Amino acid sequence: MSRCSLQTGINVELTELGYDELYRTAEQISQDSPYDLIRLDLLWLSDLGKQLFSPLNMDSPELKTIVSEFSPNISDEYFKIGKTVYALPFDPSVQMLYYRTDLFEDVKIKREFYERHRRQLTVPQSIEEYCEVARFFTRKYNPNSPTDFGATLVFGAELTAACDYLPWFMAHGGKIFDKHGRVMINTPAAKKALENYIDMFNYTERTPNMWWRKALENFALGNTALVSSFSNHASRMVLGQGSKVVGKIGFAAIPGGHPLLGGGVVGISKDSKKYEECVQVLKWIYQANISSIIAYLGGNSPCQNVYENEDLQTLYPWIKGIDDGLGIGRRRNENRRNPKFSDLKYETILGAAVRNVAMGVADIDTALKEAQGLLDHEFNE
């Protein structure tokens, strides 16, 4: 941030924390923060935003200028708690599907797929197509497959498991709340989605994967034909050492059409005595040349210029897909009939159930029943 200090005249000091430590620190400083600007994971905004952030005056010329640079596809989820703006999108991301274009365009492979399935090999759009294509590219089920595995799942931690599963749940018509505002997971849609998810496990390397980094590394090394991941991790496919897929990466909306939003938000601490200085630093971060540099280095930005940059599109072809995905993705949930609801607690309980089933600790019916009991205790009583 030395360049920021030079250009704004404001001394900027950074504290960098890991994911879990950042959450613990944010909880601890909610009553008295020593920081002026704070980045939070989007998932945490509903729980911690009001405790940490000062509401932003969106009528101010400075903030109007900043927001005018953002892609119009950026969701209000990155800004608001209720109807009040508390934060700005910092590094928004969205789940996307990445695939090997050289495989999907190979005439011999396409012919074999047609002979097996009597349809053309296309990038999967539905969950059923996703499983079918992943099976085809798994050598255990197709000795002619050019890859060891069709896809990769990420369920080694509770939150990653929830993120990996939720698009399947929503693709099957799953709803978090019933008509009374009760949080429900022991439902036919949840069961069917989990059955499909576990079926996909057969077409993977059968390891839990704690984070998306390993999944993308496997894809980059040519071990898998498809991978779904949040876009803020995708640069690893081309920047990682030994990548075999540079120039061969296609992208599409996640199968089922219900991607989760991710990344983070930034807000001004309610305890800060330097509101105007914070706004100046934010203006610096969001200016075109800085947002472009962040993107070149593999980061994400909400600024429209990033998604229109042809050089960036050459380096990271999926850039345009990120912008489109941000327009259809969702993450945070609110329900007036259930004010106790917490996205973080919900995903933690759900993810534990998914992980237990995937690792053989519990069957689907037992896992969903136990998860429902925990959700009832947290939100429905």
DSSP for 87-114, please give it: -EESS-EEEEEEEEHHHHT-HHHHHHHH
Q: pLDDT-derived band of residue 6, with 50, 70 and 90 as boundaries?
A: low
Give the pLDDT score at 8: 74
3-state secondary structure of 3: helix
Rounded distance, CA 320 to CA 252, Å?
10
| Residue 1 clears pLDDT 90, i.e. is over it | no
Contact 225, 147 (CB under 8 A): yes
pLDDT tens, position by position, 316-370: 999 999 999 999 999 999 888 999 999 999 999 999 999 999 999 999 999 999 9
Q: pLDDT-derived band of residue 2, with 50, 70 and 90 as boundaries?
A: low
Which tokens is 9 given? 């005249």
pLDDT tens, position by position, 191-247: 999 999 999 999 999 988 888 988 999 999 999 999 999 999 999 899 878 899 999
Average pLDDT over residues 246-266: 97
Rounded distance, CA 378 to CA 345, Å?
8
Give the pLDDT score at 11: 87
Domain(s) labelled CATH 3.40.190.10 in the chain stretch across: 2-91+263-308, 94-252
Average pLDDT over residues 52-78: 97
Q: Which residues pair with 226 in a beta bridge?
A: 99
Give the pLDDT score at 115: 97
What's phi and psi for 233, nearest 5 deg?
-100, -5
Sign of CA dihedral 79, 81, 84, 87: negative
Rounded distance, CA 33 to CA 48, Å?
12
What's phi and psi for 38, nearest 5 deg?
-135, 130
* CA nearest neighbour of 100 among 138, 150, 56: 150
pLDDT tens, position by position, 169-196: 999 999 999 999 999 999 999 999 999 9
What's phi and psi for 97, nearest 5 deg?
-100, 130
Average pLDDT over residues 238-264: 95
Kindly state the percentage of the chain with pLDDT values over 90.
90
Which tokens is 321 given? 């897909």
Contact 241, 221 (CB under 8 A): no
The third-level CATH classification (topology) of the domain covering 2-91+263-308 is D-Maltodextrin-Binding Protein; domain 2 (3.40.190)
pLDDT tens, position by position, 86-108: 999 999 999 999 999 999 999 99
What's phi and psi for 249, nearest 5 deg?
-105, 120
| DSSP assignment letter at 109 | H
Distance from the first to the final alpha carbon of the chain: 48
Average pLDDT over residues 19-39: 92
Q: What's domain 94-252's superfamily in CATH?
A: Periplasmic binding protein-like II (3.40.190.10)
Contact 342, 363 (CB under 8 A): no
Rounded distance, CA 118 to CA 111, Å?
10
| Residue 170, amino acid | M
